[in-house]
């Protein structure tokens, strides 16, 4: 059974992937750019890692968004956020 924390990690990972892909970065390019192991980034994007705030900050900086923007749309009370909603929320 999935916990609320699993759902949050998965939604955050989807958000990170959406923002990364929207900027045209491959996982390899982005991981090199932010000095993060590619396999770790993959695990984060798939919701398999409980990521530290320091690494979230590196990701946000690499995507040129604030931490608040990074978390936009992943509130634990929100379920099944559509891809179009993600796209609409990427604009500051």
- pLDDT tens, per residue, the chain with 92 residues: 667 778 899 999 999 999 999 999 999 999 999 999 999 999 999 999 999 999 999 999 999 999 999 999 887 554 444 445 545 555 54
36 belongs to a structural domain: yes
From the list 42, 48, 68, 49, the residue with the least C-alpha distance to 57 is: 68
- Could you tell me if residue 33 is inside a domain? yes
CATH number of the domain to which 40 belongs: 1.10.260.40
Q: Indicate the number of domains in the chain.
A: 1
Is residue 47 situated within a structural domain? Answer: yes
Does 88 fall in a domain?
Answer: no
| Contact present, 71 and 78 (Cβ < 8 Å) | no
pTM over 0.85: no
pLDDT of 81 reads 46
Residues comprising the chain, all counted: 92
Helices (H) and strands (E) in the chain, counts: 6, 0
The domain containing residue 38 runs over which residues? 4-73
Neighbouring CB atoms inside 10 A of 51's CB total: 20
């Amino acid at each position: 059974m999935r916990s609320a924390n699993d759902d949050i990690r998965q939604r955050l990972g989807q958000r990170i992937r959406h923002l990364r892909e929207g900027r045209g970065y491959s996982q390899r390019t982005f991981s090199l750019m932010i000095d993060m192991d590619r396999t770790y980034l993959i695990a984060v994007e798939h919701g398999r890692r409980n990521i530290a705030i320091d690494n979230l900050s590196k990701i946000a900086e690499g995507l040129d968004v604030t931490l608040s923007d990074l978390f936009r749309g992943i509130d634990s009370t929100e379920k099944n956020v559509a891809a179009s909603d993600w796209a609409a929320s990427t604009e500051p």
